[in-house]
Amino acid sequence: MRNLFAAFAVLFLAATTFGAGITKKPYGKMPDGTAIEEYTLTNKSGMTMKVITYGGIVTELHVPDKDGKLADVCLGCSSLEEYREGHPYFGAITGRVANRIAKGKFTLDGKEYTLATNNGANHLHGGKVGFDKVVWTAKSDEGETQQALRLYYKSNDGEEGYPGNLKVSVLYVLTDSNSWMIEYSAVTDKATPINLTQHAYFNLAGHASGTIHDHVVTIHADKYTPGDETLIPTGKIEPVKGTPFDFTEPTAIGKRIKEIKADPVGYDLNYVLREEKVASTTKPVATVTEPKSGRVMKVLTSEPGVQFYTGNFLDGKQKGKGGVKYPQYGGFCLETQHYPDSINQKTFPSIVLEPGKTYVHRTVYSFSTVK
């Protein structure tokens, strides 16, 4: 995987064949008149990804099934207006700190910081106006074997209560081998917490295909971080064996979901990923198979954790693409990340970025098929 990501540094400028390439068109305007653009990345096999500069949102991801038929496997909205009206982070970049921070407070270098509490008593996904709701600057590159889009954003000191001027870059790459590769990077002029992720909701049968109960999941994690009723980690790390959270062997999502004691019922927890004996840029962490279409999605990441979420809070009221109403369990997320509330949990891997250092996070969603 190290060589795979080394290709990020060499993005060829020549146009590709078989319809592969990148196109751009207007997607709408913000209330202040700022233009939002939509980029369409297409590879040589016809796999297509659409991205808008509002929130860095991946609005569509068309992936072939076992017969070569394409379907859009990402949940989303139909227009900028619908995204701005409110949605559960469909396909968006989340940060400055993804997931939850207890009580919206943390102390860093002896100073206490207070953030918005936009998820009950806690802070979630960067606050009221997190990275999912800002306008990113985009630059595209067409290559011989991949299409790439780089997104840029500067988060000013004090934005949403966070310290430091943070310069962020997120690179989306669509390869001819049907992989969506992501590289996040950031630098700061003051110590600050950072934990970026992509919040895509997947349904490998197609975004409007009902629930994901039949999807078969494997997660390479023997442990998880249990949380309280508000999903803030207790600080413990416990084994998955003997619990409904055990996906160490291929298991259908719906098989044990009703055994989970939560409101609403469903999976929404952070898995502690296994450490590889040999250090590498990324490691395989999960595989999901949809039996009818034969689509398979493998996840690789450089991060220590992944949040597995099954759309528990979808309630059939959320308006999706084409007017579809997404039901509960209509999609799943595998959000590669550091653990929730790490800034307040001293035994968890640190999410503090210091001046002079560079934050780097790499993730791959690789698609294939089985008969």
**Structure confidence at residue 198 (pLDDT):** 98
**Structure confidence at residue 9 (pLDDT):** 38
Q: Spell 342-364 as b/e; 16+ CB within 10 A means b.
A: bbbbeebeebbbeeeeebebbbb
Domain range for residue 155? Answer: 2-210+272-369
340 in the Ramachandran plot: left (φ > 0), alpha (ψ -120 to 50) or beta? beta
Q: Give the model's confidence band at 3: pLDDT under 50 very low, under 70 low, under 90 confident, else very high.
A: very low
Q: Give the model's confidence band at 19: pLDDT under 50 very low, under 70 low, under 90 confident, else very high.
A: confident
Q: 258 in a domain, yes or no?
A: no
**Structure confidence at residue 48 (pLDDT):** 98
The answer on pLDDT for 17 being more than 80 is no
**pTM score:** 0.93
Neighbouring CB atoms inside 10 A of 3's CB total 7
* Residue pair 310/329 in contact by the 8 Å Cβ criterion: yes
**Structure confidence at residue 277 (pLDDT):** 55
Q: 215 in a domain, yes or no?
A: no
Average pLDDT of the segment spanning 11-32: 73
The domain tally of the chain equals 1
In this predicted model, which residue has the larger pLDDT, 220 or 145?
A: 220
Distance, in Å, from the CA atom of 301 to the CA atom of 65, rounded to the nearest integer, reads 24
Question: How does pLDDT run across 294-345, given as a tens digit for each residue?
Answer: 999 999 999 999 999 999 999 999 889 999 999 999 999 999 999 999 999 9
Report residue 102 as tokens.
């207890």
The answer on pLDDT for 275 being more than 90 is no
Q: 19 in a domain, yes or no?
A: yes
* Whole-number percent of the chain with pLDDT over 70: 94
Q: How far is CA 100 from the centre of its chain?
A: 15
Residue type, 156: N
Q: Give the model's confidence band at 26: pLDDT under 50 very low, under 70 low, under 90 confident, else very high.
A: very high
Q: 65 in a domain, yes or no?
A: yes
Distance, in Å, from the CA atom of 26 to the CA atom of 335, rounded to the nearest integer, reads 29
Element (H, E) at 280: none
φ/ψ (deg, to 5) at 50: -115, 135
Neighbouring CB atoms inside 10 A of 152's CB total 14
Q: Spell 247-269 as b/e; 16+ CB within 10 A means b.
A: beeebebeeebeebeeeeebbbb
Q: 200 in a domain, yes or no?
A: yes
Active site amino acids: 199, 335
Q: 223 in a domain, yes or no?
A: no
* Residue pair 284/298 in contact by the 8 Å Cβ criterion: yes
Question: How does pLDDT run across 182-200, given as a tens digit for each residue?
Answer: 999 999 999 999 999 999 9
**162-167, long-range: CB < 8 A, 24+ apart:** 162/96, 162/97, 162/113, 162/115, 162/192, 162/193, 163/108, 163/111, 163/113, 163/190, 163/191, 163/192, 164/188, 164/189, 164/190, 164/191, 164/192, 164/355, 165/189, 165/190, 166/96, 166/192, 166/194, 166/353
Instruction: From 354, 356, 306, 5, select the one nearest 194 (Cα to Cα).
Output: 354
Residues sharing a CB contact under 8 Å with residue 63, sequence separation 6 or more, in sequence order: 47, 70, 71, 73, 178, 204, 295, 367
Q: 226 in a domain, yes or no?
A: no
Mean residue pLDDT across the chain: 93
Distance, in Å, from the CA atom of 154 to the CA atom of 168, rounded to the nearest integer, reads 6
Question: How does pLDDT run across 198-222, given as a tens digit for each residue?
Answer: 999 999 999 999 999 999 999 999 9
Question: How does pLDDT run across 241-256, given as a tens digit for each residue?
Answer: 999 999 999 999 999 9
The answer on pLDDT for 14 being more than 70 is no
**Structure confidence at residue 281 (pLDDT):** 74
Q: Please report, for the domain that includes residue 169, its CATH number.
A: 2.70.98.10
* Residue pair 108/185 in contact by the 8 Å Cβ criterion: no
Instruction: From 130, 54, 83, select the one nearest 320 (Cα to Cα).
Output: 83
Question: How does pLDDT run across 166-182, given as a tens digit for each residue?
Answer: 999 999 999 999 999 99
Q: How many residues does the chain have?
A: 371
**Structure confidence at residue 143 (pLDDT):** 82
Q: 244 in a domain, yes or no?
A: no
Q: Give the model's confidence band at 279: pLDDT under 50 very low, under 70 low, under 90 confident, else very high.
A: low
**Structure confidence at residue 350 (pLDDT):** 97
